[in-house]
Amino acid sequence: MENYLAFIMAGGGGTRFWPKSRKKTPKQFLPIVGDSPLISQTVERLCSFAERDNVFIITNEIQKPGTIERVKLQEVNVIAEPFGRNTAPCVGLAAIIAQVKSGDDTVVGIFPADHYITPVEEFDKTVEQAVLLAEKSDSIVTIGIKPSHPATGYGYIQHGDTVDGCKVNSYKVKRFTEKPDIDTAKNFLEGGGYSWNAGMFFFKAGVVLNELKNQQPKIYNLLQEFKNSIGKADEADKLCEVYEKMPSISFDYAIMEHATSVHVVEATFNWDDVGSWAAVSRHEKMDENGNCIKGDAIIVDSKNNTVESEKTVALVGVENLVVVDTGDAILVCSKDNCENVKEVVEILKKEKREELL
């Protein structure tokens, strides 16, 4: 589709995938699920609907070279933020680039780099609906995921009035609720009319720039300062100059909470944010005992384990474990505690063990 630009936000670390994920090989560089790095899968998925030259990645300086290696995009489409300033400046940067490239009415799609989504046909169908709605309604459109359980780790979107004439179920957004407690989450599920926020946004460049102008004038003004350098020799220097002054604030908090008009399109695709090692076995092949093995394993009386190793791993009488070996470190984790792998990284940081970070 022309006049549509897709931006992938790819600056995360994914410390819950230690020891595979490291500073220089963050989660999106790894084929955690599937055969290629998550970032490559994301780019190829987006290229099904967007033109390849219109797919961009916003990452950071450290990850830029590794990103370029892993994706089939022109180098110029991989942009490095000079400083991490949370998501609002990043979305603003996407909007201003889109505006300069093809005007206020260009539709911008914002996507996480490291989610697992199938099938691509349904993804395209949902995205097309979101793009059309963003174009038609001058609103910010999100994609909502049908909740499968009362998760407390996601934001929830409450549906308002149905938007008529849409091929995919679409609603006005009544309210956003960030990571609710378990009772609230249960109530949402029982009552119905809620989606998970998957962190995907669609809007006309002019619409979000206008929201920034009203709600976050500091970000807006810095983007205006940068605007004239886009595509010029001083682009990188100017970006550095304005980013240093950028407030660090999330797009949800800075814009979404008080945005003039917000819609949600209900995803028709399968979605997994691959939040921890526990996600792997949901998508990979398993043996008859539910063991999911990448590498060589010898299994005695063991079930429902996930193993990822270049060397031989023997499991004897164990259940529900994740075992990951990277040559320099080994993780043995209960599947019910995969979230806490990030605590290992915290300890390594405290102990300044750079070689394992």
**173/162 Cα distance (integer angstroms):** 9
Asked if residues 38 and 27 have their Cβ atoms less than 8 Å apart, the reply is yes
- Per-residue contact string for residues 244-283; x = within reach of a copy of itself by CB under 8 A: ----------------------------------------
Smallest distance, a copy of itself to C-beta of residue 323, A: 5
CA-nearest of 283, 282, 285 to 294 is 285
Q: Which of 2, 75, 336, 354 touches a copy of itself by CB under 8 A?
A: 336
Per CB under 8 A, 298 contacts a copy of itself? yes
Per CB under 8 A, 357 contacts a copy of itself? no
Smallest distance, a copy of itself to C-beta of residue 149, A: 20
Q: Which of 153, 236, 301, 349 touches a copy of itself by CB under 8 A?
A: 301
**278/320 Cα distance (integer angstroms):** 9
Q: What is the number of other CB atoms lying within 10 angstroms of the CB of residue 207?
A: 24
Q: Which of 35, 288, 328, 354 touches a copy of itself by CB under 8 A?
A: 328
**219/249 Cα distance (integer angstroms):** 10
**222/224 Cα distance (integer angstroms):** 5
Per CB under 8 A, 334 contacts a copy of itself? yes
Per CB under 8 A, 314 contacts a copy of itself? yes
Q: Which of 109, 340, 349, 352 touches a copy of itself by CB under 8 A?
A: 340
Per CB under 8 A, 348 contacts a copy of itself? yes
Identify whether 119 is preceded by a cis peptide bond (ω within 30 of 0).
yes
Q: Which of 309, 352, 354, 357 touches a copy of itself by CB under 8 A?
A: 309
| Structure-block tokens of residue 15 | 């410390």
Per CB under 8 A, 236 contacts a copy of itself? no
**CB-based burial, 83-98: b 16+ in 10 Å, e otherwise:** eebbbbbbbbbbbbbb
Distances (CA, A) of 222 to 90, 96, 189: 12, 11, 41
- Which residues make Cβ contacts (< 8 Å) with residue 119, sequence separation at least 6? 269, 270
Per CB under 8 A, 230 contacts a copy of itself? no
Q: Which residue, 110 or 338, has its beta carbon nearer to a copy of itself?
A: 338
Per CB under 8 A, 321 contacts a copy of itself? yes
Residues 8 to 37 in contact with a copy of itself, rule: CB under 8 A = 18-19
Per CB under 8 A, 304 contacts a copy of itself? no
Radius of gyration of the chain (CA): 21
Q: Which residue, 3 or 320, has its beta carbon nearer to a copy of itself?
A: 320
Q: Which of 104, 244, 332, 349 touches a copy of itself by CB under 8 A?
A: 332
Per CB under 8 A, 123 contacts a copy of itself? no
Q: Which long-range contacts does 221-229 make (Cβ < 8 Å, 24+ apart)?
A: 222/89, 222/246, 223/89, 223/92, 223/93, 223/95, 223/96, 224/96, 226/93, 226/96, 227/96, 227/99, 227/100
Which among 156-164, 173-181, 220-228, 332-340 is the span making contact with a copy of itself, rule CB under 8 A? Answer: 332-340
Q: Which residue, 25 or 270, has its beta carbon nearer to a copy of itself?
A: 25
Which among 105-113, 144-152, 192-200, 317-325 is the span making contact with a copy of itself, rule CB under 8 A? Answer: 317-325
Per CB under 8 A, 234 contacts a copy of itself? no
Per CB under 8 A, 343 contacts a copy of itself? yes
Per CB under 8 A, 293 contacts a copy of itself? no
Asked if residues 7 and 94 have their Cβ atoms less than 8 Å apart, the reply is yes
Q: What is the number of other CB atoms lying within 10 angstroms of the CB of residue 151?
A: 18
- List beta partners, residue 60: 81
Per CB under 8 A, 61 contacts a copy of itself? no
Chain positions contacting a copy of itself, by CB under 8 A: 18-19, 298, 300-301, 309, 311-318, 321, 323, 325, 327-334, 336-338, 340-341, 343-344, 347-348, 353, 356
